[in-house]
Structure 1
Amino acid sequence: MAAVDISPAAALHRRATYPTPTAVVYEGQEFSAAHLSRTAVELAAGLAEQGLRRGDRIGYLGFNSVTFLQTLFAAAHLGAVFVPVNFRLAADEVRHILTDSGVHTVVVEEGHRELVESVLDDIPARRHLLVDTDPACPAAEATAAVWIPLSRLFGADRPTREAVPLHDDDLAALMYTSGTTGRPKGVMLTHGNLWWNAVNVDSMVDTRSDDVNLAVAPLFHIGGLNALTLRTLLRGGTVVLRRAFDPARFLSDLVEYRVTSFFAVPAMCAAVARVPGFAEADLGALRSAVVAGAPVPPQLIKDYAEHGILLQQAWGLTETAPFATYLPAPLTLEKAGSAGAPMPYTEVCLTDPVTGARIDEADTRGEICVRGPNVTAGYWNNPEATGAAFDEAGWFHSGDIAHRDKDGFYYIVDRLKDMIISGGENIYPAEVERVLAACPGVLEAAVIGIPDPKWGETVLAVLTCAPGKALTLEEVRDFAGRHLARYKLPTRLMLVGELPRNASGKLAKAELRRMAENP
């Protein structure tokens, strides 16, 4: 039997043939599915004229926008691989991603142009496209000849082609996550990964074909893109798309557009709950408020429940596209703190992080492992990292520590790899430590996450310095800010004479946390 075409571009084109509601509401503009489909086909033709072919990588650096979606669908139309880049990253990080992925083409919004220009000589991109088609973006300024205005690639004067059929194993996107070795890794997500996540979501979450989804989380994150946004577009619903998160506007959008679903991280939900008028707002249309990216505080669950909204917790990673577990709304209060049970088409288990043995007992901590059609095929050009993440039975080892109750519901309790989650952003200490160690006057550097009332966690840098050198937090942030995104910068600094180590000479981060609690 022939493989089924699961191309998102083909799905969008099919939707465009039927009378459906507005596909996207974006910063005061409305776009039909027919418009989105037509412009994606035009852009695909323009990209093909610029030499983009099946399997080539196309990078995108900018905020949430219709252009982001057009580029994604145009890439899928050609069978190219979409590489969304975190717009918060520093030049060193962007250089690594664009080089590692081997992008053929890069699409950049004004506002990020100068950053990309600073690394142009180091990246392989042969085509550099500057967004000048979006009135919500900063106006494109006079630029060097290397930049091609994106508007030149639109228009009906080029020959078009049918969308390339795409199947489970065809690569859809490379989404980069910070690596424990200090360099971001490219998570290879196939079209099957994206498609099966949608099947999982539609099997468990109260989603419908006429949903109104509020998309405010960054689309360069798998949660912002594939938790609800992509499936809403392709199934016939409306996506209310905002370039960035503003708590007051988020609340007003929920009311004005009668939003039925959204994906957010806990820090966003907490900020919305603090907006004046939250308690009185009519949120009766909201059915599916999915929250992930960090543990959800019990008080936040209670605050929303008192307003008639049951926050639905989920757990996953970029590597699981994104969800592996989900807590249904009726269990929000009964199982408060749980990240839920496995999705229908995803297997989840716990293993002993030392021996690798399967843990079947309830209430016993272990590393949470995932297997299923939504799980990544591995890391781009990184067989070592892929081999380390997967065992012989095909289980992906997440690095998160959890326990499972007697009813089969999982609770994430720790992170094996010491990852810090700040406002939904993943921060790996090794990456920050690598930069801080190069700071003039620093002898050794260690980084841990400490509790933060706003962001969940924030970065604490613990440094030993050369004799007579006493760095300030401002000096450390100034140096690190040249190499790291701002959300990765330390917000607290502790200077010590010696870093604590265990008997084998390894850094004792548990002792660092104790020191942070009792400075």
Structure 2
Amino acid sequence: MNIAWWLERAADEYPDHVALVDGRSGSSWTYAELRDNADRVGTVLRDRFGVRPGEVVATLLPDDLWHTAIFFGLLRIGAVFSGFNRTLGFDKFAADVTRLETETLVAGPDYLEVAHRLVAETGVGQVIDVGTGSATDLLDLVVTAPVGAPVIPRVGDDPAAVNFTGGTSGVSKGVVFTHGSLSLSAQGSLVLDRLRSSDVNLSCISLYHSGGIHDAVKWTMAGATNVLTGGWDADVAARLIEHHAPTWIYFWVPTMVRDLERHPRWGELPLAGVRTILCGEPVSAELQGRLIERGMVAQDSYGMSETMPVGILKPLVAHGERPPLGSCGRPVPELCETVLKDPETGARITEPGIVGEVCVRGGVVSPGYYNDPARTAEAFDAEGFLHTRDVASFDADGWWFLGGRTDDIINSGGEKLSLVEVEAVLRSHPDVLDVACVSVAHERFGEVPAAVIVTGLDEAAAAQALDAHCLHHLERWKRPRLYAAVESVPRTMPKRTKDMRALRDLVADIVLSDADNVSHLSKITVRP
């Protein structure tokens, strides 16, 4: 088993079909061209640079055609791919290459300086540059390389990729994707979502993310066309939707949707019939409903990097039933076993309406974190279930509803409170462009919600208006007691989940009291 065999198959069955489109440059490759370029890349990496089977090779590259060819080229020769998040800083890169014990880093022109610094300060042995025109430019070497090298056999448990996650909220975790788990996950999407070679997908997720890796594999399995946005940008996305008329936007984060809804051409975009999987954060029924009103088939689904990142709660339906808006679906026993457990006792939850932690085990689940036995052991329980730290509940009909992270459940005055619920109410106010809630210390209640908002109002006016809004839509004790207006909400990846560490740092030295009532950051008294 080797994931690269799927590219061989696609090139044989659909040689002239467009495989990839670079949304920034407009260039494209057929499946025959992608296969041949991946073949040549693998040959050069093996013969010129000595990359061996099982070796982890890291990349610092833009999301373009060649990055995908390098991904498949590494798999062809039995090596392991690890795409680095380009938005992070040097210390994160240094920690990640140290964890990987990687000897080889492939870097584009914009990242060569940091790449050579990694050689000087860590164990990286060589940098392979891409697109620089130097004597060791991989692209120039590939031009004269032969094709026809065999794909190295792998077994299901062999690593195919290492994806670092959680890097901006602490020390990164290198999630291992095996050839078996990645293949099963992508095949699950192929079958459950009925992907076809005629499909065109707008890929909004980078190859340094599990969703980008999943896009590269499953659309190749389908023989379909994958249009690369090159990173999230609402202007670019609007242009590509108009030009390519995608049938899918497979991974779409609600923050991205809200960005595009504010775009001046939103109402003109050809979205009728486009299918999308909403992911990355809890999805409100209101947002899902707005997309359905535009004629889209908008599904909420659940997954994570550790499940590679197939929706382990797909909206499976039968006999004409429809999932309730806001539901992420039902578990998929064909791919994995998904249960709810009490986060304090570990007991399984079998009754509807009770909030618990999502726990999962099975073929699509990562075996653990690369070179990190302690955190691997911490993540799995004695039954072999991965504890996701995501909370959910299910109704009497078996439909599941996400409730955020275990970090999003706080105890305020002895009562459990969901920050996700508070965020949803705040987001419904017309003057709130983006929002994230975090707990802040309180002398009486222990902790209460604080709201970090992006708004056109000044901070004091926003606090007053939003407090009135929350009093109308929430129980009084659930409303935020502190508001902080910011230019952008800190997020762990571009336009993805909120960065809890940065949010906590924002309010770390603050202790509220009853005398403060509802306040805002610019006037609050900081107490020791």
Please state how far the C-alpha of 1:32 moved relative to its aligned partner.
0.9
- 8 Å CA contact 2:68–2:216 kept in 1: the answer is no
- 8 Å CA contact 1:402–1:410 kept in 2: the answer is yes
- 8 Å CA contact 1:24–1:240 kept in 2: the answer is yes
Alpha-carbon separation, structure 2, partners of 1:58 and 1:276: 42
Evaluate the alpha carbon distance shift between residue 105 and residue 411 of structure 1 in structure 2; reply closer, same or farther with a 3 A threshold. same
Farther-moved stretch of structure 1 (205-214 vs 74-83)? 205-214
The partner residue of 1:182 within 135, 153, 170 is 170
Query: Which residue number in structure 1 is paired with residue 467 of structure 2?
Result: none
Q: Once the two structures are superposed, what CA deviation does each residue of 1:321-362 show, in whole Å capped at 9, x if it has no partner?
A: 002112359999851222221133221101111111111111
The partner residue of 1:336 within 325, 331, 337 is 325
- 8 Å CA contact 1:91–1:116 kept in 2: the answer is no
- Structure 2 alignment gaps of length 5 or more: 410-418, 424-435, 439-446, 456-483, 490-497
- 8 Å CA contact 2:162–2:174 kept in 1: the answer is yes
Evaluate the alpha carbon distance shift between residue 161 and residue 277 of structure 1 in structure 2; reply closer, same or farther with a 3 A threshold. closer
Alpha-carbon separation, structure 2, partners of 1:495 and 1:181: 15
Query: Which residue number in structure 1 is paired with residue 78 of structure 2?
Result: 79
Alpha-carbon separation, structure 2, partners of 1:112 and 1:47: 19
AA aligned opposite 1:56: E
Query: Which residue number in structure 2 is paired with residue 459 of structure 1?
Result: none
Alpha-carbon separation, structure 1, partners of 2:377 and 2:44: 38
Please state how far the C-alpha of 1:229 moved relative to its aligned partner.
3.9
- 8 Å CA contact 2:202–2:227 kept in 1: the answer is yes
Evaluate the alpha carbon distance shift between residue 489 and residue 357 of structure 1 in structure 2; reply closer, same or farther with a 3 A threshold. closer
Alpha-carbon separation, structure 2, partners of 1:337 and 1:370: 21
Query: Which residue number in structure 1 is paired with residue 276 of structure 2?
Result: 289
Query: Which residue number in structure 2 is paired with residue 21 of structure 1?
Result: 17
Alpha-carbon separation, structure 2, partners of 1:404 and 1:516: 36
Farther-moved stretch of structure 1 (152-161 vs 363-372)? 152-161
AA aligned opposite 1:169: D
AA aligned opposite 1:24: L
Query: Which residue number in structure 2 is paired with residue 95 of structure 1?
Result: 94
- 8 Å CA contact 2:195–2:222 kept in 1: the answer is no
Query: Which residue number in structure 1 is paired with residue 181 of structure 2?
Result: 193
Paired residue secondary structure (2:40): helix
Paired residue secondary structure (1:83): strand
Please state how far the C-alpha of 1:175 moved relative to its aligned partner.
0.5
Evaluate the alpha carbon distance shift between residue 406 and residue 225 of structure 1 in structure 2; reply closer, same or farther with a 3 A threshold. same
- 8 Å CA contact 1:128–1:148 kept in 2: the answer is no
Paired residue secondary structure (2:266): coil
Q: Does 1:327 align with 2:315?
A: yes
- 8 Å CA contact 1:312–1:328 kept in 2: the answer is no
Evaluate the alpha carbon distance shift between residue 41 and residue 365 of structure 1 in structure 2; reply closer, same or farther with a 3 A threshold. same
AA aligned opposite 2:3: P
- 8 Å CA contact 2:313–2:329 kept in 1: the answer is yes
Q: Does 1:362 align with 2:349?
A: no
Please state how far the C-alpha of 1:283 moved relative to its aligned partner.
2.5
Alpha-carbon separation, structure 1, partners of 2:382 and 2:372: 17
Query: Which residue number in structure 1 is paired with residue 60 of structure 2?
Result: 61
- Structure 1 alignment gaps of length 5 or more: 133-139, 430-445, 455-471, 478-485, 501-511
Q: Once the two structures are superposed, what CA deviation does each residue of 1:31-73 show, in whole Å capped at 9, x if it has no partner?
A: 0111111111111111112110100011011221112111110
Paired residue secondary structure (1:368): strand
TM-score (norm 1): 0.77
Evaluate the alpha carbon distance shift between residue 216 and residue 180 of structure 1 in structure 2; reply closer, same or farther with a 3 A threshold. closer
Query: Which residue number in structure 1 is paired with residue 200 of structure 2?
Result: 212
Query: Which residue number in structure 2 is paired with residue 437 of structure 1?
Result: none
Query: Which residue number in structure 1 is paired with residue 31 of structure 2?
Result: 33
Query: Which residue number in structure 2 is paired with residue 9 of structure 1?
Result: 4
The partner residue of 1:251 within 238, 242, 253 is 238
Alpha-carbon separation, structure 1, partners of 2:375 and 2:505: 31
Alpha-carbon separation, structure 1, partners of 2:179 and 2:518: 45
Evaluate the alpha carbon distance shift between residue 80 and residue 141 of structure 1 in structure 2; reply closer, same or farther with a 3 A threshold. closer
AA aligned opposite 1:51: G
Evaluate the alpha carbon distance shift between residue 327 and residue 449 of structure 1 in structure 2; reply closer, same or farther with a 3 A threshold. farther
Evaluate the alpha carbon distance shift between residue 267 and residue 453 of structure 1 in structure 2; reply closer, same or farther with a 3 A threshold. farther
The partner residue of 1:390 within 350, 373, 380 is 380
TM-score (norm 2): 0.76
AA aligned opposite 2:290: D
AA aligned opposite 1:23: A
Query: Which residue number in structure 2 is paired with residue 378 of structure 1?
Result: 368
Q: Once the two structures are superposed, what CA deviation does each residue of 1:72-121 show, in whole Å capped at 9, x if it has no partner?
A: 10111011110111111111001111111111211111212222333322
Alpha-carbon separation, structure 2, partners of 1:473 and 1:513: 18
Alpha-carbon separation, structure 2, partners of 1:493 and 1:417: 16
Query: Which residue number in structure 2 is paired with residue 45 of structure 1?
Result: 43
- 8 Å CA contact 2:21–2:65 kept in 1: the answer is no
Evaluate the alpha carbon distance shift between residue 158 and residue 23 of structure 1 in structure 2; reply closer, same or farther with a 3 A threshold. closer
Farther-moved stretch of structure 1 (328-337 vs 228-237)? 328-337
AA aligned opposite 1:302: G
Q: Does 1:278 align with 2:276?
A: no
Please state how far the C-alpha of 1:14 moved relative to its aligned partner.
2.2
CA RMSD of aligned residues (A): 3.7
Please state how far the C-alpha of 1:308 moved relative to its aligned partner.
0.9
Q: How many percent identity over aligned positions?
A: 28
Alpha-carbon separation, structure 1, partners of 2:315 and 2:232: 25
Evaluate the alpha carbon distance shift between residue 210 and residue 489 of structure 1 in structure 2; reply closer, same or farther with a 3 A threshold. same
Q: Once the two structures are superposed, what CA deviation does each residue of 1:190-215 show, in whole Å capped at 9, x if it has no partner?
A: 01111111122123224222211111
Q: Once the two structures are superposed, what CA deviation does each residue of 1:131-186 show, in whole Å capped at 9, x if it has no partner?
A: 11xxxxxxx388xxxx9322243134458630012232111111111269931111
Alpha-carbon separation, structure 2, partners of 1:211 and 1:125: 40
Query: Which residue number in structure 2 is paired with residue 302 of structure 1?
Result: 289
Query: Which residue number in structure 2 is paired with residue 224 of structure 1?
Result: 212
Alpha-carbon separation, structure 2, partners of 1:279 and 1:31: 31
Please state how far the C-alpha of 1:388 moved relative to its aligned partner.
1.1
AA aligned opposite 1:377: P
Q: Once the two structures are superposed, what CA deviation does each residue of 1:291-334 show, in whole Å capped at 9, x if it has no partner?
A: 10001233322221211113111111100000211235999985
Evaluate the alpha carbon distance shift between residue 303 and residue 364 of structure 1 in structure 2; reply closer, same or farther with a 3 A threshold. same
Alpha-carbon separation, structure 1, partners of 2:69 and 2:180: 20
- 8 Å CA contact 1:258–1:285 kept in 2: the answer is no
Please state how far the C-alpha of 1:285 moved relative to its aligned partner.
4.7
- 8 Å CA contact 1:215–1:229 kept in 2: the answer is no
Evaluate the alpha carbon distance shift between residue 496 and residue 155 of structure 1 in structure 2; reply closer, same or farther with a 3 A threshold. closer
Alignment of 1:99-498 (within 5 A): 99-132=98-131, 140=132, 148-157=136-145, 161-178=149-166, 182-226=170-214, 228-262=215-249, 263-286=251-274, 288-323=275-310, 324-327=312-315, 334-343=323-332, 344-417=334-407, 450=451, 452=453, 493-494=506-507, 496=509
- 8 Å CA contact 1:345–1:373 kept in 2: the answer is yes
AA aligned opposite 1:69: T
Alpha-carbon separation, structure 2, partners of 1:179 and 1:243: 21
- 8 Å CA contact 1:61–1:112 kept in 2: the answer is yes
- 8 Å CA contact 1:369–1:398 kept in 2: the answer is yes
Paired residue secondary structure (1:87): coil
